[in-house]
């Protein structure tokens, strides 16, 4: 018996692909992810992941002091990334903005210290 993704049926292949988004093998059995793990998956900094969660771009579940991201949320973000990279692009742009703001704060602080 063939898998739904095998054969010449592109619709079945696409459906099978959508049901199994590309996550690294080490996370196949995970039900939830920590924000640092999500940061690794999307190649963004930990800080950006926490900021995105704070802004609501990454939905989290609070368990005590821990913020966990359900696997379904990560899969949905990965699928959205494949279709259009808007979410990941927003996260990376936000990270770049935060880095620029930090550099500006440091420059202003240095100028103020000289006075």
Domains of the chain (ranges, CATH numbers): 30-114 (1.10.1660)
Q: What is the DSSP letter of 8?
A: S
Long-range contacts formed by 88-91: CB under 8 A, 24+ apart: 88/42, 88/44, 90/52, 90/57, 91/42, 91/44, 91/48, 91/49, 91/52, 91/57
Angle between the 86-114 and 46-55 helix axes, to the nearest 10 degrees? 110
53 vs 29, which has greater pLDDT?
A: 53
Q: Which residues on neighbouring strands pair with residue 32, listed in sequence order? A: 70
Instruction: Express each pLDDT in 51-96 by its tens digit.
Output: 999 988 899 998 898 999 998 888 888 776 655 556 666 777 777 7
């Amino acid at each position: 018996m063939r898998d739904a993704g095998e054969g010449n049926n592109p619709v079945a292949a696409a459906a099978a692909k959508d049901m199994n988004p590309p996550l690294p093998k080490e996370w196949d059995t995970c039900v939830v992810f920590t924000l640092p793990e999500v940061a690794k998956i999307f190649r963004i900094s930990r800080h950006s992941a926490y900021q995105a969660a704070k802004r609501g771009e990454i939905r989290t579940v609070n368990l005590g002091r821990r913020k966990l991201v359900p696997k379904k949320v990560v899969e949905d973000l990965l699928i959205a990334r494949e279709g259009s990279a808007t979410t990941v692009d927003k996260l990376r742009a936000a990270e770049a903005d935060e880095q620029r703001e930090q550099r500006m704060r440091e420059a202003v602080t240095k100028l103020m210290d000289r006075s």
